[in-house]
Structure 1
Amino acid sequence: MHVTHIRRTMAAAAAAAVLPVAIGIAAPTASADTGTQPFGPGCSSLPQEGKGSLSDMASTPVATAAANNPELKTLAAAVEAADLGDTLNNTKGITVFAPTNAAFEKIPKADLDALLANKAQLAKVLKYHVVGQEVTQKDLAKGDFTTLEGSKLTTSGSGESFTVNDSAKIVCGGIPTANATVELIDTVLMPK
């Protein structure tokens, strides 16, 4: 009788896992490494399917994922201008604090144009947005990380509300890509 109960329990668990897929309901994408799901109010602005969607980003290296995502077109252009695409796509286990298009729009046009035209300075700013380790949602609560640029970056918060360097809000975090985790932020960070 005990074996029958275990078999029924296992069958019920298998059915619960298969049923949503069988009826066409996709489960939220979770990061295989962290077991966490993307979080934050800005996640709803991402495409639901196709290029730039969470499932597309999960199977694509980070620079390519950014280029495919409509919320990250300015960042993708900056990465291309700084010749950092291959570096980002080929480095594993990193976290990218990715400024959205709206974040870049906060910078006065003349200043942004000057930054985009200065390849060395642009590379420095972009590398400041990359941490050479996987940062989990738990790590964000009180984080202190060294960036690829060499300076420190801090995070704080709880639940689904996190701030980077006491200035940028994470609008959609914990997005897995093929080689990185992406945290969409609402402000471009500047190294000191």
Structure 2
Amino acid sequence: MRSIQRLATLGAAAAAVVVLGACSAPSQEPSTATDVPPVPTVAAAGPRTPEVPGSTTEAAVFGPGCGGLPTGDDPGSLASMSQAPVAAAAGTNPQLRTFAALVGRANLTEALNAAPGLTVFAPTDNAFATLPAEQRAALEADPARLATVLQYHVSGTRASAEELRTAGTSTELAGGQVRIGGTGATMTVADAAGTTATVVCGNIPTGNATLFLIDTVLTPQA
């Protein structure tokens, strides 16, 4: 229950920001015939830069698993996921079907989608398939424990791969940290027990999170 409340708090904070912004919007005076029209500005040519701290662009995506993503505007493509909040984006990604289903089982979907900014290390279907059958069954039968494990893969601060490598660690919503390693197109994420996951596709932009697909399920400290 504590782990679910952490994400619920983040979602409430996002809603408060929207309400405050709406209340503080200045009124606009009607224009008159003597108004001088503004001089249009032309943006400099070049790559689009992130508008939110810690966010990324599609051009920054890296990793051997990125080639397996759908293309164009198809569900699960980079273009599609960039427009959706992270749990909704994961639900369309063909490599994250198990992750999305377990997020729903743990009642975390709405909280993840409503959070203002996250970094998510999402184990792929292949990662979950390597778990012993009894371990996965035990997780699915215990939503509270499942929520803790899933939130050990989520940070409440949005960050790019470069920022994560510079920091060296990431603090997770479940408590505790993961260690970040690797350079260039290689990035690793290690849990407290020393289990190391490799990012198969990283820096994926979603509506409210930077998403990293990893090849191993991480385990928080007991």
Partner of 2:213: 184
Comparing 158-167 and 173-182, the one that deviates more: 158-167
CA gap of 1:32–1:54, structure 2 versus 1, over 3 A, is farther
Which residue identity lines up with residue 68 of structure 2 in the other structure?
S
CA gap of 1:95–1:40, structure 2 versus 1, over 3 A, is same
Which residue identity lines up with residue 70 of structure 1 in the other structure?
P
Partner of 1:79: 103
CA gap of 1:90–1:35, structure 2 versus 1, over 3 A, is closer
Partner of 1:7: none
Question: What is the TM-score of this pair, normalised by structure 1?
Answer: 0.82
Written as runs of structure 1 = structure 2, the 5 A alignment for 1:33-44 is 33=52, 34-36=55-57, 37-44=60-67
Which residue identity lines up with residue 45 of structure 1 in the other structure?
G
Aligned counterpart for 2:203 among listed residues 144, 156, 174:
174
Contact 2:56 2:204 in 1 (8 A): no
Task: Please list the CA deviations of residues 67-116 of structure 1 after superposition, one character each: whole Å capped at 9, or x if unmatched.
Answer: 11110000001000000001100001110001000110110122111111
- Residues of 1 paired with 2:155 and 2:118: CA distance? 6
- Residues of 1 paired with 2:104 and 2:117: CA distance? 21
Deviation for aligned residue 1:30: 7.4
Which residue identity lines up with residue 137 of structure 1 in the other structure?
A
Residues 1:147 and 2:176 are matched in the alignment: no
| Identity in percent | 46
Secondary structure of 1:114's match? helix
- Residues of 2 paired with 1:98 and 1:160: CA distance? 18
Secondary structure of 2:219's match? coil
Partner of 1:111: 135
Can you give the 5+ residue segments of structure 1 that lack an aligned partner in the other structure?
1-9, 18-26
Q: Aligned pairs, how many?
A: 169
Secondary structure of 2:211's match? strand
Which residue identity lines up with residue 148 of structure 1 in the other structure?
L
Residues 1:45 and 2:68 are matched in the alignment: yes
Partner of 2:113: 89
- Residues of 1 paired with 2:215 and 2:86: CA distance? 18
Contact 2:118 2:208 in 1 (8 A): yes
Which residue identity lines up with residue 214 of structure 2 in the other structure?
I
Which residue identity lines up with residue 42 of structure 1 in the other structure?
G
Q: Provide the alpha-carbon RMSD of the alignment.
A: 2.0
